[in-house]
Amino acid sequence: MASRLTELQVKNAKPRAAKYTLAAGHGLTLLVMPDGSKYWRLRYRFGGKARMIAVGKPYPFTTLRQALAKATECRAQIEAGTDPAENRRSERLARRERVANTFGDAAEAWHRFRSQASDAKTAEQARTYLDKDLLPKLRGRPLDAISAAELGALVAGIERRGAFDVAKKTRQWLKAIYSYARANGWTAADPARDLAAIALRAPEKQPYPHLQVDELPAFLRALDAYDGSDLVKACAQLALWTANRPGVTRTLRWSELDLDAGLWTIQKGREGMKRGYFHLTPLPSQAVAMLRVIQRVTGKFDHVFIGRNDPAKPLSDGAMTAMFKRIGFHRKQTAHGFRHLVSTALNDRGYDRDWIERQLAHGDPDKIRGTYNRAHYLEARRKMMQDWADFLDRMRLESNNVAPISQAAA
């Protein structure tokens, strides 16, 4: 059926004292208002009731041809059993709801949900990155309004400051936040999907400064001659004997030690332990002897290596670094570098790589196959670390002409 109106008639329709309509066919009409504005309306019946709906924007923003096309779309909905007015209302509400859903709301909800399944350290790390890098820039932004380019620029800024691990985590968490938001129906957007495609390659990590085995005699002589804090020296010795992470070593608690069994138990979720793994550390006799001496001094406190100014707190993070500087090994040896040193030495001496990796607490022991004792290689590691401590003692004797620590501490 041909239109009853032409574009020229629509253009030339003049206002009157009262509003009036011009029929365009199939229920589509042009409503002309006294002020000269012109609106498209579609009259139809749905469920036995007369209805009317606005079609497009007012003329001339919606032409006659466009209005006819939109009216055809509405009639197709009616024939399919959908009321165009109700459909439009639902779309408008959904659009309004999506606009109201901000990144900040979604991120906070995701973090609360994620924290239920995460260990405390992971949840705290996510909280730190959210507060520092994501929320300050994105908190009030609607989820649907954030583009891939915007997120790409944000992550690129993190990479420019050299924080490539943070950038990697940020990409992962942006994807997780948007995935969580989509699953909850807050958005259909996925601007974080392809961020990995524009990730810069991180420079190769340099190992923590550490000595070679043949440089140990000079270090051990300097350590023996150190006349500063006995606790700092003891902490360094324990780190060298066990190869445990420095954050765990300096915050060692008496409750974690069984000196009679020569065992140090690090419970799952312990602060300072990477990924919060459970870990068993066999203690060589030298370490047990030294700890028994220290127990007479700090045994009534929580931590073995207590803080200089506050015994309720552990040794400070920089205490060992200051000692290395004082004895002439600044930037040559670090607390974390002991792990590299011990790993290299034990591998060179031919010990089973699985024993060494377990001693270094690499990997989740809960996922290692085998029996409990086999998974932790406890007895094999006990002999390996005793051999290592004895080797260090022989080196001290040869280079310094002093008694082994196990005898000196007795």
pLDDT digits (tens, 9 = 90+) for 207-223: 566 778 888 898 899 99
Does residue 294 surpass a pLDDT of 60? Answer: yes
CATH no. of 7-98:
3.30.160.390
* CA end-to-end span of the chain: 109
Kindly state the DSSP code that residue 32 receives in the 8-state scheme: E
Does residue 295 surpass a pLDDT of 80? Answer: yes
What does the pLDDT read at residue 91?
76
What does the pLDDT read at residue 277?
73
Name the CATH code of domain 213-408 (choices 3.40.190.10, 1.10.287.70, 1.10.443.10, 3.40.50.450).
1.10.443.10
Higher-confidence residue of 272 and 250: namely 250
- Percent of the chain residues topping a pLDDT of 70: 89
**94 φ, ψ to 5°?**
-65, -40
Does residue 99 surpass a pLDDT of 50? Answer: no
Does residue 205 surpass a pLDDT of 70? Answer: no
Q: How far apart are CA 243 and CA 258, in angstroms?
A: 18
pLDDT band of residue 253 (cuts 50, 70, 90) is very high
What does the pLDDT read at residue 207?
59
Find the catalytic residue in 89, 132, 274, 331.
274
- Name the range with the highest mean pLDDT among 22-36, 96-110, 361-375: 22-36
pLDDT band of residue 259 (cuts 50, 70, 90) is very high
- Residues 6 or more apart whose CB falls under 8 angstroms from that of 125 comprise 169
- Residues 6 or more apart whose CB falls under 8 angstroms from that of 167 comprise 155, 158, 159, 199, 200
Is 362 among the residues known to form the active site? Answer: yes
Find the catalytic residue in 75, 88, 121, 362.
362
Is 111 among the residues known to form the active site? Answer: no
Taking residues 322-326, report their average pLDDT.
91
Mean pLDDT of the chain: 86
Among 146-160, 170-184, 269-283, which is the least confidently predicted range? Answer: 269-283
Does residue 258 surpass a pLDDT of 80? Answer: yes
What does the pLDDT read at residue 229?
94
- Report how far Cα 269 is from the mean position of its chain's Cα atoms: 16
Is residue 43 helix, strand or coil? strand
pLDDT band of residue 369 (cuts 50, 70, 90) is very low
Is 98 among the residues known to form the active site? Answer: no
Least Cα distance to 317 among 249, 369, 388 occurs for: 249
- Name the range with the highest mean pLDDT among 46-50, 87-91, 196-200, 289-293: 289-293
What does the pLDDT read at residue 371?
37
What does the pLDDT read at residue 389?
95
pLDDT band of residue 374 (cuts 50, 70, 90) is very low
* Per-domain boundaries in the chain: 7-98, 103-198, 213-408
Least Cα distance to 63 among 6, 1, 20 occurs for: 6
What does the pLDDT read at residue 162?
86
Is 374 among the residues known to form the active site? Answer: no
Joined tokens for residue 342: 């011990």
Does 1.10.150.130 match the CATH number of domain 103-198?
Answer: yes
Find the catalytic residue in 65, 96, 275, 372.
372
Find the catalytic residue in 38, 70, 279, 339.
339
Does residue 63 surpass a pLDDT of 80? Answer: yes
If one counts every other C-beta atom within 10 angstroms of the C-beta of residue 28, the result is 25
Is 372 among the residues known to form the active site? Answer: yes
The 10s digit of each residue's pLDDT in 384-407 is: 999 999 999 998 888 665 555 544
Is 274 among the residues known to form the active site? Answer: yes
Find the catalytic residue in 26, 139, 313, 336.
336
